[in-house]
Amino acid sequence: MEPAETTIGEYLIHRLYQLRVQHAFGIPGDYVLGFYKQLDESRIKIINTCDEQGAGFAATAYARVRGLGAVCVTYGVGGLKVVNTTAQAYAEETAVVVISGAPGVREQAGNPLLHHKVKEFDTQLKVFQQLTVAQTVLDNPATACREINRVLGAALCYRRPVYIELPRDMVTVKIVPQEEPLQPPDVDREPFREASREAVDMINAATQPVIVAGVELLRYGMHHHLQELVEKTNIPVTSTLLGKSAMGERHPGYIGLYEGGLSREDIRQYVESSDCIVLLGVLLTDLDLGIFTAHLDQGKSIHATSEKTSIRHHTYPGVYLNGFLLGLLQADIRRRETCETPHAPAPTPFHPAPDTRITVERLFQRLETFFDDSTFVIADTGDALFAAADISIPRAAEFMSSAYYASLGFAVPASLGVQLALPTLRPLVLVGDGAFQMTGMEVATAARYHLNPIIIVLNNSGYGTERPMLDGSFNDVYPWRYARLPELLGAGRGFDVQTEEQLEVALEAARGYRDGFCILDVRLDPYDFSPALRRMTSVLGKKVK
């Protein structure tokens, strides 16, 4: 279907679009203007954010939903502003394509001091070599197609960011397109069969097996297969914080979140006393292991990841999650009787007490019943995340956070990526005031593109997570009147929330107003924390002092 001749820039766009990238996030600059013109004339829509940081986070969220996302920036002053967002994508396994313009190949001759240059012309490339799984500079028309395919293939295979640098005099250079498969070639099936046989025997012999669902199920879009496995075998399933919503959390097989010693006690006991723990796509991070308070006996564990599978104390290199899980689905695992397992307490009906100041705990009690099937929850780092951990997400893959890299300021720009990728859903953004001040002005981008997130600012006048660890005025955040943002932007609706009744009124109004963003400034006591955060910081705080 593709033309006999195309240009380097158009081929890149064509390939991205084939891979479901219909939006590219970024800010133009002179070294990337030619490529922006091509994008503008293509089927990919450009989404201009306020700052490149916002574009990087938005592209990351988009990539988590669509499998691939793109951020498109200029050289130096653009590229080096998405270093942190690319680092997050690397750490949390998200396939973001960073496309950076650059001075033309001919301009670079003689190594002149061109604007936006840091040290050498390859300085930016060297920075991204630390943060991406594949990189290329498209400076050669003869290899450009192959390079684009190699790099995009790596992004999809490893679900990690990649870097493509496009010198501006190469954008419209004509090439003959070559379509090559992006996926890696087939692997040896025998190790998979052996691992599967061993795992099945171990699972079938167990009296109390449990599945721990991890983030890679979400990243590789395998959560449907997880549900299939759970329904086929009736084995109870828990999830890590980073893997939250890999399983729909109102599914009868779901027992709740496992976070080591920070878990609800019945869940902790159930998981840690299991004689067969099947970890699927779990990253063994400090936050997922309850700051290493988890006690998971490796001698009773099966652990499949995107790179390898371990059973007890031995490893099958190259037996990766997707193939292993599909193998389990086809294997003869016996179906269990429904047994007594932990389950989430039924949501408490929320009756707003008059003239009662709102607390974190009551806010999340209310939110628990506010969600519906068209809500996508995005939690920023901090108590927004820890408090959200305990609420039930109705459908799989409709929750997002940065629960390992933990970069503040992810949630508001992420809501742009989520809603553009899933236009039938409405994002509910949970964000602290400190995080909001970093990137929250991207609500302007929501206004620009007619998106309608509901943004709940957990306004506790500071970096609340840090106060219980070590406090000082450096943990204070200057007060903004967040509910006034609609006046600044000429769009959206703002609500001041100090009491339970005001929360009720604001949430109902936000549900009813669909023409733009809504922002709720929820004023919390600076020392009011969720029960989950209190547990977390008492462990973290010991490491600070």
Q: What are phi and psi of 292, to 5 degrees?
A: 60, 30
287 contacts a copy of itself (rule: CB under 8 A): yes
SS3 assignment for 412-451 = HHHHHHHHHHCCCCEEEEEEEHHHHHHHHHHHHHHHHCCC
Of the candidate residues 208, 437, 498, 499, the single one contacting a copy of itself (CB under 8 A): 437
Nearer to a copy of itself, 382 or 417 (CB): 382
444 contacts a copy of itself (rule: CB under 8 A): yes
Q: How far apart are CA 338 and CA 414, in angstroms?
A: 38
Q: How far is the CB of 469 from a copy of itself (least distance, A)?
A: 6
SS3 assignment for 246-273 = CCCCCCCCEEEECECECCCHHHHHHHHC
Nearer to a copy of itself, 362 or 535 (CB): 535
CB 371 within 8 A of CB 393: yes
Question: What are residue 454's DSSP bridge partners?
Answer: 428, 518
Nearer to a copy of itself, 118 or 200 (CB): 118
173 contacts a copy of itself (rule: CB under 8 A): no
CB 250 within 8 A of CB 293: no
CB 255 within 8 A of CB 270: yes
Of the candidate residues 173, 284, 326, 331, the single one contacting a copy of itself (CB under 8 A): 284
Q: What does the block give as tokens for 465?
A: 């997570």
Write out the binding residues for a copy of itself, residues 332-391 only, by CB under 8 A: none
Q: How far apart are CA 368 and CA 257, in angstroms?
A: 15
307 contacts a copy of itself (rule: CB under 8 A): no
Q: How far apart are CA 334 and CA 59, in angstroms?
A: 42
Binding mask 201-240 for a copy of itself (x = CB under 8 A): ----------------------------------------
Q: How far is the CB of 480 from a copy of itself (least distance, A)?
A: 6
Question: Residue 11 is inside which H or E element, if any?
Answer: helix 8-18
Sign of CA dihedral 41, 46, 50, 52: negative
Nearer to a copy of itself, 235 or 483 (CB): 483
Of the candidate residues 3, 5, 40, 356, the single one contacting a copy of itself (CB under 8 A): 40
Q: How far is the CB of 235 from a copy of itself (least distance, A)?
A: 26
Where is the binding site for Mg(2+), in residues? 433, 460, 462
- Smallest CA-to-CA distance from 511 within 456, 449, 444 is with 456
For tokens 């949630």, the residue is 411
Binding mask 456-495 for a copy of itself (x = CB under 8 A): -------x-xx--xx-xxxxxxxxxx--xx-xxxx-----
Measure the N-to-C terminal CA separation of the chain; round to a whole number of Å: 63
Q: How far is the CB of 77 from a copy of itself (least distance, A)?
A: 4
439 contacts a copy of itself (rule: CB under 8 A): yes
Write out the binding residues for a copy of itself, residues 66-125 only, by CB under 8 A: 76-77, 80-81, 83-84, 87-88, 90-91, 104, 107, 112-119, 123
Q: What does the block give as tokens for 475?
A: 């943990």
Give how many residues touch a copy of itself by CB under 8 A.
88
Q: Interacting stretch for a copy of itself, rule CB under 8 A, among 196-204, 297-305, 398-406, 512-520?
A: 398-406
Nearer to a copy of itself, 51 or 504 (CB): 51
Nearer to a copy of itself, 222 or 438 (CB): 438
Q: What does the block give as tokens for 159?
A: 């679900």
